Amino acid sequence: MGRSRALVAGGVTLAVVAGGLGYAVADAYDVVPGVLTVQPAPTPPPPFPVAPGAVAGQPAPDPVLVPVSTSAPTPDPAALDAALGPLLDSADLGDQVGATVVDVLTGTVLLDRGADAPHEPASTAKILTAAAALSRLGGEHTVTTRAVAGVSPDEVVLVGAGDVLLGAGEGDPDAVSGRAGLVDLADQTAAALTAAGHTTVAVRVDDSRFSAQRMGPGWTRSDLDLGYAAPVTALAVDAGRTRPGRYAPRVDDPSLAAAGTFAELLRARGLTVVGDAARTAAPAQPEVLGEVTSAPVEQVVAYMLRSSDNTVAEALARLVAVEAGRPTTFDDSARAVLDELSVLGVAVGGATLADGSGLSDGSALPASVLTDVLVAAASPDHPELRPLLTGLPVAGLEGTLLERFGADGAAAGVGAVRAKTGSLSGVTSLAGTVTTVDGRLLAFAVVADAVPATEAARRAVDQVASVLAACGCR
C-alpha cells in the first residue's frame, strides 16, 4: 500500500445546491436545505464523530442566509486568482495541488490551477459514485433482503442483494442505517416456517450478487480495526460494525455475521437452529419466507456523503456495476462508475478510479472532473442527480463538516458551503459548491496529494472555500 490509512473525515469538498441554467431558481430555493435557501435554518444535529487526526474546531457562528440569485455578479477571474492564488500556493497544501472554480449558471471556468492534472482524490471520489448511483439506479431504487427456503425444506437462506445498512433490530422507517430490520425478517420467517410445520432449521447465506473480492487495493487489516471500512459483501448489519459508532471496528465477514444474528433471532422465536451459518446458493426460484427493504438510493447516497462511509460507497458502486451488466470486482465497479459519468456527458478521460470510495491505492482524478460532476448535478437536464447536492454536508452544521470551518479565516464558509470531505495521509481534498456573498453559485474543487500535515492542510482548504464565500472578487 502506498500510503498509511490516516483517514481524516474523507477528502474536503464544498458544494452549493441549485439548478443549472438559470439555476432552476424555484427548485434551488426548495432543494437546498436551511442556510443555503431562503427557508429557515435546520436545527443542528447532535455531534458527529470525527476521524482520527481531525481538528476539533471552535463552535460555529450563526450562519448568514444568502439566497441564490440569477442576477448576482460573476466573480472576475483575475480578482479570483488574486484572492485564491496565495492560499493555493500555501506550503500547508504542498507542491502538488489541482484546483478549479466554475460558475454553475454558465459553466464558465473562473479559475484553473492545474485542474486537468490527476491527483489522488481520497473520499472526494465518492462524489462520482453518488452521481453514478443516482443516474444508473434512480433515486427511488431500493434493495430487498430476503429469507427463502433452501434446497432442503429445513434450510433457510438469507439472500443479500446489496443492503449493507441492515439493522439488527426492528426496521426504523425514519432511519437510513436500519431501515430494513432483521427482527422483522425473523418474525416473517419464523411465522412462515411454523405454519409449514418446520421447527428445526439450518441458516445459510447467499451473497453471490457481489464478487468474492472483498478488500480493495491496498486495504489492510488495520482499515477494519480502525473502522474505516468492512470487507465488501452483499449484505451487512450497520456496514459491518461490531458496535455503534462511526469508527467502530468492523467484522471480518459481514455476510456471515448478519446470518449469525438472523439465526439467533430465529432461536428467540422458538425455532431450533442447527449448526453455524454457512454460504450456499439459493434456489433459482425459491419460496420467499420473508423480506425487508432498504431506504431509497437517494437517502443512502446522502448518508454516504455526510458520513463518508467507505463500505456504503463500495456497495453503491457494485450496484451500479450489477445494473450495467458488469462484474462486481473493485476494478469493474469503478469502471462502471466512470462509464455512467460518460453517459452523463462528463469527460472522464483523465480519471482513474481504483474503487468507489477513494480508500484504495491507485485512484487519480483531475479537479475538473469533480466540478464537472457537480455542475451536471445542478443542471435542469439532470434532476435525478439533485440528491447528490442536497446530500453534501453543510459547513459547520452537519456530517463530516460539523467540526470544520471554525478556525480563523474560515468562518465565512459556515452555512454557505456544502462539501464532501476526504483525507488520507498526504492527501487533503475539497470539492463542492459555495454561494458567494453576492448570491452567485460556484462549484469548485481543491485536490492536494503531497500535503506535509493533515490538520494544517484541512484548515488551508477550509480557508479557500471561505474566501470564495466572502469574496465578490469583482
For every residue of 310-374, DSSP letters joined together read HHHHHHHHHHHHHHTT---SHHHHHHHHHHHHHHTT---TT-B-SSSSS-STT-BB-HHHHHHHH
If 0-12 CB within 10 Å is exposed, 13-18 middle and 19+ buried, where does residue 199 land?
A: exposed
- Per DSSP bridges, beta strands 144-149 and 288-293 are antiparallel
**Catalytic residue (one of 90, 123, 360, 368):** 123
Contact 467, 138 (CB under 8 A): no
**Catalytic residue (one of 177, 211, 308, 466):** 308
Q: Between helices 254-268 and 182-195, what is the axis angle to 10°?
A: 50
DSSP H helical ranges for 252-295: 254-268
Contact 165, 151 (CB under 8 A): no
CA 277: distance to chain centroid? 31
**Catalytic residue (one of 126, 135, 307, 357):** 126
User: Does residue 123 carry a catalytic annotation?
Assistant: yes
Placement of cell 481524516 in the chain: 8
429 vs 446: CA distance, rounded Å: 5
User: Does residue 420 carry a catalytic annotation?
Assistant: no
Dihedral class, residue 57 (left if φ above 0, else alpha if ψ from -120 to 50, else beta): left
Where in the sequence numbering do the catalytic residues fall?
123, 126, 308
